[in-house]
Amino acid sequence: MEPADIGLWGVPLAILGGAIRVSTPFIFVSLGEAITERSGRINLGLEGILVFGAMTAYAIAVVTGSPWLGVLGAAGTGVLFGLFHGWICKFPKVNDIAIGIALMLFGSGLAFFFGKPYIQPSAPDLPALPLGFWSDIPQVQAALSVNVLFLIGAALSVALWWAFRNTRAGLVIRVVGDSGDAARAMGLNPNIVRLLATAVGGAFAAVGGAYLSLYYPGSWNEGISSGQGLMAVALVIFARWNPLGCFAAALLFGGAGALGPALQSVGVTQGYYLFYAAPYVLTLGIMIATSSRGRSLAGAPGELSITK
């Protein structure tokens, strides 16, 4: 490839690599929220779980020297937060949206408090696979350096899409999410199913946080999330509660988030910072575009509080 061609393909390659890196937290958080909402519950506390998961993973990696132990530890804390949210929301007249907001503030506050000693220490990074090994062009190699969690997220998207349609567990979650009365008639306990679904969703969100602190951007600080947990909730609505749709929408959000760095990487020195707002503009645009009653709730589980 000639130098002129490298310059021509510089921005697309940078956006591709950035989309892969930036989309990974969105993939995990959106898949977790899709599972939770499919069961008939909304968890807006995923932002707090994401931040606490990032802090937990970084702290464990610093202490043990193993980033994978950090990921497992983050998933464990996500399960605990999910169980806490699910347990409270089972009580009558408890609003899951309000509880989620409280959990978001609680999780973020705890992360900031316990994470202060770990702002300076350096933790080992999660490994990446050099899928661009076949090329001697640095831009291609950088774009195709893919973290293992991205591949796991892609596989989970396909697995969940299949599971919702072809397994008993998937059918149980869908029935509970669509009608609690129908689930009880089948001998199911909706509270237990939603509790477990919320716990799994919390684990997914915390793994997304672990990716942030242990790979990209690869550090722990109090502003690490930038609202990605909340944006993922809009992403799930945009994807119509479909795991494959969540994966595609996460890549779209990731590409939008990569615009600013991509332009900066090819020498654009003025105005590129405006493109850092692209994910937030995209989120706002999606919410406006799907704000009509017919479109915004098309395909929504019947037991979600936003449908009542």
SS (H, E, C) the chain: CCHHHHHHHHHHHHHHHHHHHHHHHHHHHHHHHHHHHHCCCCCCCHHHHHHHHHHHHHHHHHHHCCHHHHHHHHHHHHHHHHHHHHHHHCCCCCCHHHHHHHHHHHHHHHHHHHHHHHCCCCCCCCCEEECCCCCCCHHHHHHCEEEHHHHHHHHHHHHHHHHHHHCHHHHHHHHHHHCHHHHHHCCCCHHHHHHHHHHHHHHHHHHHHHHHHHCCCCCCCCCCCCCHHHHHHHHHHHCCCCHHHHHHHHHHHHHHHCHHHHHHHCCCCCCHHHHHHHHHHHHHHHHHHCCCHHHHCCCCCCCCHHHC
Specify whether the CB–CB gap between 83 and 195 falls below 8 A. Answer: yes
- CA atoms of 126 and 36, how far apart (whole Å): 27
- Does the pLDDT at position 290 exceed 80? no
Domain residue spans of the chain: 7-289+298-304
More confident residue, 262 or 106: 106
More confident residue, 67 or 134: 67
Q: How confident is the model at residue 27 (pLDDT cuts 50, 70, 90)?
A: very high
Give the model confidence (pLDDT) of 49-107 as tens digits.
999 999 999 999 999 999 999 999 999 999 999 999 999 999 988 999 999 999 999 99
Least confident of 51-65, 88-102, 200-214, 247-261: 247-261
- CA atoms of 43 and 103, how far apart (whole Å): 9
- Does the pLDDT at position 41 exceed 50? yes
Read off the pLDDT of each residue in 131-160 and give the average, rounded to a whole number. 87
pLDDT averaged over every residue in the chain: 88
- CA atoms of 64 and 77, how far apart (whole Å): 17
- CA atoms of 38 and 176, how far apart (whole Å): 8
> CATH classification of 7-289+298-304 is 1.10.3470, yes or no?
yes
Least confident of 17-26, 165-174, 297-306: 297-306
* Res 137: pLDDT: 75
Least confident of 63-77, 144-158, 261-275: 261-275
Among residues 11, 35, 75, the alpha carbon closest in space to that of 211 is found at 75
Q: How confident is the model at residue 301 (pLDDT cuts 50, 70, 90)?
A: confident
Q: How confident is the model at residue 235 (pLDDT cuts 50, 70, 90)?
A: confident
- CA atoms of 283 and 261, how far apart (whole Å): 19
